[in-house]
Amino acid sequence: MEAVNFNHWVITLVCVDGPGIVHAVTGAIADAGGNITESQQFTSIGTGRFFMRLQVESVADRAALEAKLLPVVERFEMDWTLDVVGRPIRTLILVTKEGHCLADLLFRKSAGQLGIEVPLVMSNHPDLDRLAGFYEIPFEALRVNSNSDMKAFEDRLIEVVSKYEIELVVLARFMRVLSPETCAALAGKVINIHHSFLPGFKGANPYRQAHERGVKLIGATAHFVTDDLDEGPIIEQNVVRVDHSSSPDALKRIGQNEESRTLTQAVGWLAEHRVLLDGRRTVIFH
Amino acid sequence: MEAVNFNHWVITLVCVDGPGIVHAVTGAIADAGGNITESQQFTSIGTGRFFMRLQVESVADRAALEAKLLPVVERFEMDWTLDVVGRPIRTLILVTKEGHCLADLLFRKSAGQLGIEVPLVMSNHPDLDRLAGFYEIPFEALRVNSNSDMKAFEDRLIEVVSKYEIELVVLARFMRVLSPETCAALAGKVINIHHSFLPGFKGANPYRQAHERGVKLIGATAHFVTDDLDEGPIIEQNVVRVDHSSSPDALKRIGQNEESRTLTQAVGWLAEHRVLLDGRRTVIFH
Amino acid sequence: MEAVNFNHWVITLVCVDGPGIVHAVTGAIADAGGNITESQQFTSIGTGRFFMRLQVESVADRAALEAKLLPVVERFEMDWTLDVVGRPIRTLILVTKEGHCLADLLFRKSAGQLGIEVPLVMSNHPDLDRLAGFYEIPFEALRVNSNSDMKAFEDRLIEVVSKYEIELVVLARFMRVLSPETCAALAGKVINIHHSFLPGFKGANPYRQAHERGVKLIGATAHFVTDDLDEGPIIEQNVVRVDHSSSPDALKRIGQNEESRTLTQAVGWLAEHRVLLDGRRTVIFH
Amino acid sequence: MEAVNFNHWVITLVCVDGPGIVHAVTGAIADAGGNITESQQFTSIGTGRFFMRLQVESVADRAALEAKLLPVVERFEMDWTLDVVGRPIRTLILVTKEGHCLADLLFRKSAGQLGIEVPLVMSNHPDLDRLAGFYEIPFEALRVNSNSDMKAFEDRLIEVVSKYEIELVVLARFMRVLSPETCAALAGKVINIHHSFLPGFKGANPYRQAHERGVKLIGATAHFVTDDLDEGPIIEQNVVRVDHSSSPDALKRIGQNEESRTLTQAVGWLAEHRVLLDGRRTVIFH
C-alpha cells in the first residue's frame, strides 16, 4: 500500500458576474478529485465583476487540475491564477536610505512569517548594504543624480525583473519616482508605502507638518503604483493615536512603525494571492 | 412585458465534511435559477464538520428552491435553514431591573438596524414596563420570590415561546437562573450576556472586585445558554481599556456599555443566520 | 456643629513657561484652603507656552479663590479660567438637514452624559424641528438661498450668541460656510465636524469618492473653525476599518456614526475645560 | 562664560493624601532651581493615598536636590524615589524554554527602546543560551528537577540579585513557582507574564482549552509576583480578536505575541518609574 500525496493549491478567478460560475468551478474541482478547504467570493456592484479565491487539496498534479479548469476559465473568459499554497513569490525590494521597512520585511521573511524570496535588493544609495547582507541578500546600488542616471536605474530594474523572474516589486521607502513607462511595463506588480494623515500633507517633512497641525492620528497606506503618483489602488491602511505631547521625532518614529507593518501586511497578502484588482479598487480576501 | 421579482434567500448548511458538497449545493442553486451573492464556508478540524452560509437571488419561490435543495440536504444528511433575507426573527426578551441592554436592543430595532420583532418582554420585576411601553412592546411581569414562583415563570416562558412562535430568547440582564429542563427545552434558542474580566470574578458586585484588583481591561461576553451556567458556546466578546483612575461606578458604566453593545451585536448576527453551532464552539460568518 | 460645604472648581492656566509657576499656583490654592484632586500640565516645545488644568476642592467661594489666584495670574500674565466642576456650558447648535450629530448630542445631554445646556438650535432648513422638539429645545430656521440670506443668518447668529450668553457654537453638519467676519467675532468658540479619509477628497459626495478609491479606513475630524476653512486646530479624530464589500451607502452610515461620536467627544472635553489652544494646535487634558 | 549643565530628574512620591503636598513639593523643587517638565498625580479613593511623579530639569546635583526635598518627604512621611531620567535599571531575566518574551526584551533593549541593562539571564534549562549570547548577555542555567534543585536555584537567585544590585526581576515565561520566602524577599521587584482569556482557564495547554471553548479574544497580563500565585497587582493587559478559524497553534502564536509585547510594555514603564503600588492595585502614569 502506498501513501497518497496531496497537493495544496490556491486558485484565483476573476470574470464578469453571472449565474453558474461557482457551480462550474466547483464541478471542475470535484472532477479533479479536489476538496475545497477555503473559499471566498465577491461580486463588485460597481464593475459587475465576480472575484473568487479557493484553496483546494487534491492528488491531481498541475496539469491534471489545469485540464479540468481550463474549459471553465475559457467559457467565462476568466483572469485566473493557479499556484501551490506557500510557494514564496519572487520579490524585488527597492530602497533608498531609510531601513525600517526593509528591516521588517527581511526579518519576517527570515522568521518564516512572510512567503517571499528576495533575489536582490536594489537601491539608489549604498547605505542599506549591511542590512541586506545580514540577511544574506545580494544588494545592488546605482547612484541616481540625474535624469539619465534614473533612466539607467529603471533600465536595470526592468532587466532585473526579467532576469530573476520577479513577481512583485516592493518600493520600501524608495525615494525616486518611476517613469510612466516603467509603471506601465510593471503594471499590477509594483507596490509602495507612504505615510497618511488626516488631513493629507504635501511636500517635505510631513511629520513636522503633522506636528504643526496637531493631528490626533497618524498612519500609513500601502498601494499599487500606477503612473498616477500615490493614487494607485489601496491595499491596506493603518493609523495610531497620538497627542499634543508627541514631538515631531516621536511622530516620525510612530509613523515609521506604521509604515513597516502596513507594507509587510500588504506583501503578505499578495504572497498568498489574497489581493485582486477591481479597477481602481482592490478586493482583499483576508 | 412584465417585471421579474427576485427573491433574496439566506441558506445555512451543516454536515460532515467530504468532497463534492459545494458542487452539489451550487448545482442545486443553479438549477433553481439562483445567483449566489454571498458565500462563506468553514471546515472544523476538531469535529470534521462542514459549515456553509449562502445568500442567493432567485426568481424561484420557497417550494421550488426547496425541491432542488432537498436531495442534496438528504444526501449529505445536512442540518439546514432556508429563510428570506431580512425577515425579522421573533424574539422574546427577558429582563429584571437593569435596562441598558433592553434599551439598546429596542432602540436599534426601532432604528431599523436590528432584524428582530419583539412580541413581548417578560420580567421578574415591574420596573422596565415604561421602557418597553415607550417602544410599544407588550410587557409582562411575574414576581419571582420563591422556587415555585420560578417554576411558574418558566412554565409561562415555555408557553409564550410556543404561543408567539419565538425563535430567539434573549436574557438581557435577566437575573434568574433557568432550570436545566428549560435550558434543554429551548436548547440553541437562548442567549445571555455577562461581564467579563481578566481574571474572572465570581459572586456579587463584580465591578467592585475588578476595581479592587486593578484590572486594566473590562468587557462582556455574549453566549448561548446551556445548563452549564455561563459556559455555553461564546458568540461575541468585547473589552475596553480602563485605568487606576476609574472608580467602581465608572467601571460599571463602562462595563454596561460593553454588555449592551456585545449583546446587540450577537442578536444581529443571529437574526442574519450568521451564527452556527459546532459542538461547544460557534462558527460566525461575519 | 455645622456641615462644611465644599465647592469643586476647575481651573485652566496658560502662560509663557518658566520656573516657579506650579509652586506659585499651588501656593495660592493652599492659601485658599484648597485640595488639588486632579492636575495636569504640559509645556509646548514649539511655542514655549505652559498649560495647566486643575480640579480643586475648597470651602472658599469664587471671590475668595480669585483673590488668592489673581496675583499669580498677573505675575505670569496668564490666560485663565475658573469654573464650577459640572456646570453645563451654554451651547448653540447649528444644523442643516442631516440629524445624526444633533441626535447624538441631544441624547447624550438628556442622559446626563454631556455637560451642556442648549437654549436654541438654529438651522437653514426646517427639517430638524421635530428632533429638537422631542428634547424640548427651541428651534429656529432661517432659509438661506442667497448671500443676503446668509448675511441675515450670521447677523442673527451673532445676536443669539450675545443674547443667550453662548459659550460654544457647534456646527453639527451645518452646510454653510461662515464668513471671515463671523469666524473672527466668535474665534475659539466655534467647532465643526467633517468626514476624514486617507487620502482626502474634495467636492461633493465624499463617501462615493472614498468608495471608488477603495479606502480601507474612514473617519471624522472635529476641529475649531477659523477663517481657514476646515483647517482650524484639531480636537479629535477617529477612524474605523472598512473593506471592499462596503457599499457607498454603508460607508456613509459608518462615516456618520464616526462623525457623531467624534463631535460629541469634542463637545464633552470642551464642556469640562479639557481643550486648550496652542497656536494652530490643541492641548487636550483627557 | 561657561555652559550650564542641566540634570534631568525623575521623582516619585507616595504618602497619605492631605492639603499642601503639591505646594510643598513644588516649593522644594523651585528652591533647588528646578523646572518641572512633567507632572502627574493621583489620589486613591480606596486607600486615601496620594501618588505623584515628576520630571525636573535642574542644575542641582543629587545632594542639593535631596537636601531640599528631604524635609518635605519627612513631613509627609513619603515613600519616594529620585533617579536620573533615562538611567537603565538593572534587570535580571528568568526564562525556561520559550524564547519569545526574552527575544523581544533583548531586541528592544539593543534598539535603544527599553531602558534596562541586563547583567545576566538565568534559566532552569540550557535552551536559550544562544539567544542571550547573540545579544552578548551572560547566561546561567541551573537544572531544576527536584525541590532541592529549586531551593538551590532560588538561593542563587537571591545571591545574584544582591551581587548585581538587581532592581527588577522579570519572569519571561519562567515555568517554575517561586517560594513564598523568595517572593517576600524580593517583594515589589518581581514581575511575571501570563496568558489571559475570558473565561480563565487553569491547568495545562491553555491555548487548546481556549480553542475548545471558542473564545473570541485572547490576551496577556503582566503583573507583580506575590506569594498569591498569578494574583499580584496588574501592570498591563492586552487582548486581540480571534475567530473560529484560528487553530490551537494560531492561538498560541497570537497569544505569545501578546505576551511579549505586554511584558515589554510593563518593563518599559517600570524602567521609567511610571508604576506605583497602591495596595493590591497599581497606579500607572503613562
* SS3 state at D90: strand
Cite the beta strand spans of B61-144 per DSSP E: 79-84, 89-95, 116-123, 139-141
Nearest CA in chain A to C276: A244
**Band (B201; pLDDT cuts 50, 70, 90):** low
**Band (C45; pLDDT cuts 50, 70, 90):** confident
Residue D37 pLDDT: 86
D163-188 pLDDT per residue, tens: 999 999 999 999 999 999 999 999 99
Strand partners, A6: none
Q: How far is residue C29's CA from residue B187's CA, in Å, rounded to a whole number?
A: 63
Q: How far is residue B19's CA from residue B43's CA, in Å, rounded to a whole number?
A: 12
C106-156 pLDDT per residue, tens: 988 987 889 999 999 999 999 999 889 988 999 999 999 999 999 999 999
Contact call for D36 and C39, based on CB within 8 A: no
Range scoring the smallest mean pLDDT among C202-216, D102-116, D206-220: C202-216
**Band (B2; pLDDT cuts 50, 70, 90):** very low
**Band (D198; pLDDT cuts 50, 70, 90):** low
pTM here is 0.85
Verify whether residue D230 is a known catalytic residue.
yes
Q: At what angle do helices B248-271 and B206-213 cross, to 10 degrees?
A: 120
- Which residues from A are below 8 Å from C239, CB to CB? 198, 217, 239
Residue C2 pLDDT: 47
pLDDT at B156 over 90: yes
Nearest CA in chain D to B215: D234
Burial class (CB in 10 A: 0-12, 13-18, 19+), A116: buried
Q: How far is residue D286's CA from residue D274's CA, in Å, rounded to a whole number?
A: 7
Residue A212 pLDDT: 83
H or E element at residue C97: none
**Band (B211; pLDDT cuts 50, 70, 90):** confident
Contact call for B30 and A19, based on CB within 8 A: yes
| Residue of B15, B17, B26, B29 to mutate, testing the A interface (most A Cβ within 10 Å of its Cβ) | B26
Percentage of the residues of chain B whose pLDDT score is greater than 70: 95
Q: Find the catalytic residue in B104, B230, B243, B249.
A: B230
Decide if B7-84 and B89-284 have a common fold.
no
Q: Does domain B89-284 have CATH number 3.80.10.10?
A: no
Residue A53 pLDDT: 97
Mean pLDDT over residues C60-89, rounded? 96
CB within 8 Å of A226: residues ≥ 6 apart: A183, A187, A232, A233
Residue A199 pLDDT: 63
Q: Name the residue ranges covered by the structural domains of chain D.
A: 7-84, 89-284
- Which residues from D are below 8 Å from C22, CB to CB? 22, 26, 36, 39
Range scoring the smallest mean pLDDT among A15-19, C83-87, D151-155: A15-19
Residue B4 pLDDT: 60
Contact call for D39 and C23, based on CB within 8 A: no
pLDDT at D77 over 60: yes
- Which residues from A are below 8 Å from C243, CB to CB? 284
Output the nine-digit C-alpha cell for C203: 467636492
Residue D4 pLDDT: 60
Closest CA to D262 of D235, D243, D242: D235
**Band (D250; pLDDT cuts 50, 70, 90):** confident
Domain spanning C7-84, CATH architecture: 2-Layer Sandwich (3.30)
**Band (A2; pLDDT cuts 50, 70, 90):** very low
Residue B200 pLDDT: 66
Q: How far is residue D172's CA from residue D123's CA, in Å, rounded to a whole number?
A: 10
Instruction: Answer whether C27 touches D (CB < 8 Å).
Output: yes
**Band (B1; pLDDT cuts 50, 70, 90):** very low
B43-93 pLDDT per residue, tens: 998 899 999 999 999 989 999 999 999 999 999 999 999 999 999 999 999
| Complex confidence, ipTM | 0.87
Contact call for C216 and A197, based on CB within 8 A: no
Q: How far is residue D43's CA from residue A4's CA, in Å, rounded to a whole number?
A: 69
Of B45, B244, B282, the CB nearest to D214: B282
Q: What's the angle, vertex CA A174, arms to CA A170 and CA A180, rounded to 5?
A: 80
Q: How far is residue A158's CA from residue A164's CA, in Å, rounded to a whole number?
A: 10
Q: Supply the DSSP string of C120-166, one letter for each residue.
A: EEEESSSTTHHHHHHTT--EEE----SHHHHHHHHHHHHHHHHHTT-
Determine contact, residues A275/A265, Cβ cutoff 8 Å: no
Q: How far is residue A28's CA from residue A70's CA, in Å, rounded to a whole number?
A: 9
Closest CA to B187 of B159, B168, B174, B172: B168
Q: Find the catalytic residue in D83, D227, D230, D278.
A: D230
Range scoring the smallest mean pLDDT among A113-122, A154-163, D29-38, D83-92: D29-38
Q: How far is residue C36's CA from residue C240's CA, in Å, rounded to a whole number?
A: 38
State how far residue B25 is from chain A, nearest Cα, in angstroms.
Answer: 8
pLDDT at D2 over 60: no
Output the nine-digit C-alpha cell for D168: 527588577
- The mean pLDDT of chain C is 91
Q: How far is residue A240's CA from residue A238's CA, in Å, rounded to a whole number?
A: 7
Cite the beta strand spans of C173-267 per DSSP E: 190-197, 217-224, 234-241
Residue A189 pLDDT: 97
Output the nine-digit C-alpha cell for C172: 453639527
| Residue of B211, B238, B244 to mutate, testing the D interface (most D Cβ within 10 Å of its Cβ) | B244
Q: What's at A235, amino acid-wise? A: I
Q: How far is residue B56's CA from residue B71's CA, in Å, rounded to a whole number?
A: 18
* SS3 state at D281: strand
Strand partners, B84: B9
Residue C6 pLDDT: 78
A203-233 pLDDT per residue, tens: 677 888 888 888 899 999 999 999 876 578 9
pLDDT at B123 over 50: yes
Instruction: Answer whether C219 touches A (CB < 8 Å).
Output: yes
Q: How far is residue C240's CA from residue C256's CA, in Å, rounded to a whole number?
A: 11
CA distances to C90, C153, D18, D161 from D24, in Å: 37, 54, 11, 36
**Band (B230; pLDDT cuts 50, 70, 90):** low
Determine contact, residues B210/B197, Cβ cutoff 8 Å: yes
Output the nine-digit C-alpha cell for C50: 505652559
**Band (D191; pLDDT cuts 50, 70, 90):** very high
Mean pLDDT over residues B174-183, rounded? 95
C213-258 pLDDT per residue, tens: 889 999 999 999 998 765 789 999 999 899 998 888 888 888 998 9
- The mean pLDDT of chain A is 91
Q: How far is residue B156's CA from residue B140's CA, in Å, rounded to a whole number?
A: 10
State how far residue B57 is from chain A, nearest Cα, in angstroms.
Answer: 10
Of B211, B233, B243, the CB nearest to D214: B233
Note the helical H segments in chain D.
21-31, 62-75, 100-110, 129-134, 147-163, 180-185, 206-213, 248-271
Determine contact, residues D217/D239, Cβ cutoff 8 Å: yes
Residue D199 pLDDT: 63
Give the 3-state secondary structure percentages of chain D, helix then strand then coil, rounded to 5. 35, 30, 35
pLDDT at A1 over 50: no
Nearest CA in chain D to C57: D19
* SS3 state at B205: coil
- The mean pLDDT of chain D is 91
Strand partners, B10: B55, B83
Contact call for C18 and D35, based on CB within 8 A: yes
| Residue of C35, C49, C53 to mutate, testing the D interface (most D Cβ within 10 Å of its Cβ) | C35
* SS3 state at B141: strand
- Which residues from C are below 8 Å from A233, CB to CB? 214
pLDDT, greater one: A276 or B207 = A276
Q: At what angle do helices C21-31 and C62-75 cross, to 10 degrees?
A: 160
Residue A284 pLDDT: 96
